[in-house]
Amino acid sequence: MTNSLAGRVAPKSELIDVAQLIGSYYELSIDADIEAERVAFGTSGHRGNALVKSFNEAHVMAITQAVCEFKKKMGYDGVIFVAKDTHALSTVAQMTVMRVCVANGVYAAISKDDNYTPTPLVSFAILEHNKKSEKKADGIVITPSHNPPADGGFKYNPPNGGPADTDVTSLIEKRANEILKNSLKDVKIVSYDEALSSKFLSEFDFITPYVEALGEIVDMNSIQKSNLKIAADALGGSAIAVYEKIKSHYKLDMDVINPYVDYTFSFMTLDHDGKIRMDCSSPYSMASVLSLKDSYDLSVANDTDADRHGIVTPKAGLINPNHYLSVAIWYLFKYRKNFTKDLKVGKTLVSSSMIEHVCRSLDREVCEVPVGFKWFVDGLYDGSLGFGGEESAGASFLRFDASVWSTDKDGIIMTLLAAEIMAVTGKDIADIYKEFEDEFGKSYYDRIDAPASLEQKKILKTLKAEFINIETLAGEKIEKILSNAPGNGAEIGGLKIVTKNGWVAMRPSGTEDIYKIYAESFISREHLTQLQKEAQTIMQELFKSI
């Protein structure tokens, strides 16, 4: 049920007490015997909240020590780029990271002038460094992504520039929890003053090289010449300074909205559940950006670490992420002359099947993988994937010459690509997508969440296709039941059931006590609802019987 305050500016009663939050980060003691207080890497690193003892100094010390040990074990002897977003816990967590890295003799680089740094700029910096040096660099990004203001997060990116795979995060998670269990005795740490004056700490300009290179991946000249009036809202996140640099460097008609950092995010409108969440794919969180749609040719937004994108146009308002992915893929593979026929399109199992229809029309092969951008890293890195995108509004693609740009989600190039598409085609993004509907049929797509205990989530994560003993779904014969992704054979961590005109997928959340049901119908909204209902029934029966 949608909260009555959804889409409205957050009342003061909903704002965090920053002093209390920071105090909890330093002062609350962790009990490693309690599962909720241990380190747990989901699809996007470890996330938590200092107030409930799931993201505190002890966690950051333990994870950073584990990363330093892993880095040395692997022989990654280059610098580790350390970035933070604009959540309140990110700054204090970065201070902790610096102290541990320096104590371990690991060279760490933080942003020049203590700037906030988007995730894609870290991926870009790692890849650019490793092109020129045999000393392999890697990265730490301190961000809980679009999560509420009280949350904190920690991501590790190895030398391939992308989010670490489970074989890496499982090792870091295990070692970090051992360190917590041993009361942090294995942590090497110096004072903050010592870290600041150490030879192992340096400053790095993440923004300038990235912005100056944008012309290698987006047609910035066409955007400039088009005179499109653009609004860019970083939702109080780390992309504020990046957009300001883009505006000045390329002389764009761009207004940077809300160009300030506020740890309480008091300017945000509440999400569907009444929480402050910087989710650029939510119409509720994006209400203030949506209010700009008639004043600009294009309004764009990112979450706090700018790895996700939100696109608003005058005709459609907030573009559904799946719709924009379909349009972006069509445009790139139609207009990029160096995107040869052997380049594949990467999509997650829970992204819209409209992408598959578009790719078939372009004679392009689709590589369908489980949820998580980590599954696109190798393909983007070696140039076999021209594009990799997630239904949750995260994507990246190759440069004009089909070489790698970033191997993590890049919400900034995705917002700029929307401007390029409109500049080159002269069409609204919504008009292009409508052409797909006219040709392939209308898609009805939605995701709903249902409560799930820890035990139920574990059951769902290990489900196999043979556990499903039904032949039809929402009135159609079942064609496939998948527990492994067809693109790479990896386990889904859930199930996907496919019929001729629809599908459902069920998987547990990595961060909340829920499981997610994704569904899509090419028949009707009523058919979509039936798919969702039957998926819930399937899960309830499975939970009873297993």
Q: 403-438 as b/e, with b when 16 or more CB fall inside 10 Å?
A: ebbbbbbbbbbbbbbbbbbbbeeebbbbebbbebee
What residues have CB less than 8 Å from 472, skipping those under 6 apart? 478, 499
User: 71, 101 in Cβ contact below 8 A?
Assistant: no
Q: How far apart are CA 158 and CA 110, in angstroms?
A: 16
CA-based end-to-end distance of the chain = 29
β-strand partners of 506: 495, 517
The CA angle 386-392-398, to the nearest 5 degrees, is 15
Q: How far apart are CA 456 and CA 431, in angstroms?
A: 42
Q: Is the dihedral of CA 109, 115, 119, 125 positive or negative?
A: negative
Strand, coil or helix: what is 522? coil
User: 500, 479 in Cβ contact below 8 A?
Assistant: yes
What residues have CB less than 8 Å from 17, skipping those under 6 apart? none
User: 50, 56 in Cβ contact below 8 A?
Assistant: yes
SS3 content of the chain, % helix, strand, coil (to 5): 40, 20, 40
Concatenated DSSP letters of 509-532: -SSSSEEEEEEEESS-HHHHHHHH
Residue position matching structure tokens 């989600």: 409
Cα dihedral value 432, 438, 441, 444, nearest 10: 50
Q: How far apart are CA 169 and CA 167, in angstroms?
A: 6
**At 396, which amino acid appears?**
S
C-beta neighbour count of 185 within 10 angstroms: 7
User: 536, 456 in Cβ contact below 8 A?
Assistant: no
What six digits make up the tokens of 109? Answer: 């680089």
Question: What is the 8-class DSSP label of residue 218?
Answer: S
Catalytic residue of the set 54, 111, 145, 392 = 145
User: 539, 453 in Cβ contact below 8 A?
Assistant: no
Q: How far apart are CA 540 and CA 111, in angstroms?
A: 49
Q: How far apart are CA 420 and CA 400, in angstroms?
A: 13
Say whether 226 is catalytic: no
Burial of 65 (0-12, 13-18, 19+ CB in 10 A): buried
- Annotated catalytic sites, by residue? 145
